Amino acid sequence: MAKAKTVFFCQSCGAQSVKWIGRCPVCGEWNTYVEEVIQKEEPAQAGSWKPASTTPGGSSTKAAKSRPLNDIVAEDEPRIITSDGELNRVLGGGIVPGSIVLIGGEPGIGKSTLMLQIALSLRKHKVLYVSGEESEAQIKMRAERLVDQQHPNCYILTETQTQNIFRQIDQVQPNIVVIDSIQTMHSSLVESGAGSVSQVRECTTEFLKFAKETSTPVLLIGHITKDGSLAGPKTLEHMVDTVLQFEGDRHMSYRILRTIKNRFGSTSELGIYEMQGTGLRQVSNPSEILLSQRSESLSGMAIGATLEGNRPLLVEVQALVTPATYGTPQRSSTGFDSKRLQMLLAVLEKRAGLRLGQHDVFLNIAGGLRLDDPALDMAVCAAVVSSLNDLPIPGDVCLAAEVGLSGEIRAVARLDQRLAEAEKLGFREMYVSHFNGKGLDLARYGLKVQPVSRLDEVLNGLFG
């Protein structure tokens, strides 16, 4: 029996110390060190994903040797294309063989539903779904709700011991492995409890070595903390190939799958889903859904053209400006940066002569989206002025431009995609920056393009 010892780990960065420290010297966080009982690992077993029966004494492992870069042949392995087009876009074209993907999100947001839905849709591949949180009967009930036909190549395993999981992997020989979740996994090489820093790091290392040595992709589901970051050490995000964030309001039907890290594709892509009774439905044209509930006769509403990754979206910006009941006016925003809202309100007061100092301003991006595109600046300003003066904006007008501190209208990127999306949805007029017109054939679009250079030109064009 190996001798057990006590070590302190930082919950923020995973740094190790032999004694408790008030402030972590690596990340600088306070009161993050926790005590864990670990076991010294044998050199032949440390970080090994193979069961002990297959590697007696570690004799089957071979030491890696260095090779010249010119002698290495890069094989272009085909990606695993799923039936979920949103997931394929977020991953950069499909699941890369041998990759390890981490999906995080709030409890009840739909992470397990998404992964089980993906596992049931891959009928040409053998999938092993490992759950440490639910029983086989619970997974069966969800599977019957998601699909009508059963998947003969989807295997369910309810286990938390990593060594037992790898024994089942040797028997089943799956093409894809799903782990739900990494915080429930436990390795016998470490004595601390499941979900601790050392356990999460050790279990992830074992799955990482398994994925790289066998070219089998592994999809990990991870918990998040109360501040929205992935639970466990920060090194967990550095170890995996791709980090996806599944976010959205549980009280609303829309979910967003956002890329935080991706070694095999772009980090600016996102997928949009709608939660239904039969599972998650892909939203192929989110602009029509986000604008389907708008009313053209109400003030305080403006349509802005934004970009999420390579996908253009037309979203509804809602503003409510009312006289301040108390001495200090409120500035509240949902789905939009509150500091940027305060900056735009200061620009409206200074450059447009509006008196907003005695008014409460509330801003909301309809649909539960969280956007940070500067191209929404003009739509935010127009919605605030519309609510202040109680003048509605025509429903067939959209805006796409950034507003500077001096009231100038600045150009935005990829205006052609925004114009094409507005034309497809039947908009008649679009306000853009005067500097965006250079090198762009505006005549080929079926809507009227209004180039403006100052904020007062936009307000005069909308409200007279």
**51 — pLDDT class (breaks 50, 70, 90):** low
CA angle, 304 as apex, 303 and 307 as ends, to 5°? Answer: 140
Report the candidate in 309, 305, 133 with the shortest Cα–Cα distance to residue 222: 133
Identical topology for domains 81-282 and 288-463 = no
Determine whether the annotation assigns residue 107 to a binding site: yes
Backbone phi, psi, residue 334, to 5°: -125, 120
Determine whether the annotation assigns residue 106 to a binding site: yes
368 close to 335: Cβ distance less than 8 angstroms: yes
Q: Could you tell me the two tokens for 128?
A: 């092993």
What is the Cα–Cα distance from 205 to 138, expressed in whole angstroms? 29
What are 374-428's pLDDT values in tens digits? 999 999 999 999 999 999 999 889 999 999 999 999 999 989 889 988 998 889 9
Q: CB atoms < 10 A from the CB of 376, how many?
A: 29
Mean pLDDT estimate for the chain? 85
pLDDT higher than threshold 80 for residue 53:
no
Residue 397, CA distances (Å) to 8, 233, 409, 426 in order: 59, 48, 17, 10
Backbone phi, psi, residue 192, to 5°: -70, 165
Report the candidate in 309, 438, 462 with the shortest Cα–Cα distance to residue 378: 462
Determine whether the annotation assigns residue 407 to a binding site: no
Q: Could you tell me the two tokens for 74?
A: 């890069």
What are 330-351's pLDDT values in tens digits? 999 999 999 999 999 999 999 9
In b/e form, how buried is each residue of 150-185, taking b as 16+ CB within 10 angstroms?
ebebbbbbbbbebbebbbbbeeeebbbbbbbbbbbb
Determine whether the annotation assigns residue 110 to a binding site: yes
Strands 4-10 and 301-308: unpaired
What is residue 380's three-state secondary structure? Answer: helix
CATH of 288-463, one of 3.40.640.10, 3.30.230.10, 3.40.50.2000, 3.40.50.1370: 3.30.230.10
Q: Could you tell me the two tokens for 314?
A: 């037309």
What are 241-289's pLDDT values in tens digits? 999 999 876 667 788 898 889 998 888 788 888 888 888 998 877 887 7
Which residue is it, tokens 């500091």?
Answer: 339
Helix H or strand E segment including 85: helix 85-91
What are 145-179's pLDDT values in tens digits? 888 777 788 999 999 999 999 999 999 999 999 99
pLDDT higher than threshold 60 for residue 46:
no
290-298 long-range contacts, Cβ below 8 Å, gap at least 24?
A: 290/314, 290/315, 290/316, 290/366, 290/367, 290/369, 291/315, 291/316, 291/425, 293/366, 294/366, 294/395, 296/392, 296/394, 296/395, 297/392, 298/392
pLDDT higher than threshold 70 for residue 41:
no
Which residue is it, tokens 């050199």?
Answer: 43
Determine whether the annotation assigns residue 112 to a binding site: yes
Determine whether the annotation assigns residue 28 to a binding site: no
Query: Given CA atoms 175, 180, 182, 186 in this order, what sign does their dihedral have?
Result: negative
Burial class (CB in 10 A: 0-12, 13-18, 19+), 358: exposed
Domain 81-282 listed as CATH 3.30.390.10: no
Which is more confidently placed, 384 or 124? 384
Give domain limits for the chain: 1-40, 81-282, 288-463
199 close to 190: Cβ distance less than 8 angstroms: yes
Determine whether the annotation assigns residue 288 to a binding site: no
Which residue is it, tokens 């390579």?
Answer: 310
Please tell me the predicted confidence (pLDDT) of residue 218.
96
Helical ranges in 244-400 per DSSP H: 286-290, 338-352, 377-389
Least confident range from 9-23, 78-92, 155-169: namely 9-23
What is the Cα–Cα distance from 334 to 364, expressed in whole angstroms? 5
238 close to 14: Cβ distance less than 8 angstroms: no
Give the torsion through C-alpha atoms of 83, 88, 183, 164, to 10 deg. 60
**63 — pLDDT class (breaks 50, 70, 90):** low
Instruction: Provide the terminal-to-terminal Cα distance of the chain, rounded to the nearest Å.
Output: 84
Please tell me the predicted confidence (pLDDT) of residue 2.
52
Q: What is the mean pLDDT of residues 93-120?
A: 91
How far does CA 26 lie from the centroid of its chain? 27
